Homo-oligomer: A and B are copies of this chain.
Amino acid sequence: MNSDFTLAIHSLTFLALQPDRMSTSDAISESSGVHPVRIRKVLSLLKRNGFIKTKEGTGGGFIFAQDLSEVNLWDLYKVTSEGALQPKCLESNKQCVVGANMQRVLLTIFLGAEEHLGMYLKDYTMKEIVDLINQQ
């Protein structure tokens, strides 16, 4: 799994603490230590999925577009990392019973695992993340 998921969480938390004004990718970059271009890439994904609004030009940037308690971590996972749990096992030997069937079996199991993970992540909303951050 790449870190787009955690970067999305970080960015949205940052935006949640600046609810009244737009934040730039440079500001989020400074907070997260990640290059601004990558911030824009991940946030443009979040924009396409309606989590945030963006504005170009002077005074522009990113701002949260939904209620904090309406966005949960499973939503963010799906957008940024769905399928990341899937194992990489492609070219096993079809002549062998194990090689021929393992991929199908693992796929089933890992799909279930991701679904299971979803139930856990759904319980964390951005509101709760912000609360946890503030409990320094």
A87-107: CB near B (< 8 Å → 1, else 0) gives 111011100111111100110
B6 touches A96 (CB 8 A): no
Candidates B17, B92, B112, B120; contact of A113 at CB < 8 Å: B120
Give how many copies assemble into the complex.
2
Candidates B1, B89, B109; contact of A73 at CB < 8 Å: B109
Contact-residue size bin, chain A (C-beta under 8 Å from the other chain):
35 or more
Provided the pairs A87-B3, A89-B6, A91-B33 are in contact, do residues A124 and B98 lie with their beta carbons within 8 angstroms? no
Instruction: Report how far A106 CA is from B8 CA in the complex, Å.
Output: 12
A14-32: CB near B (< 8 Å → 1, else 0) gives 1001000000000000111
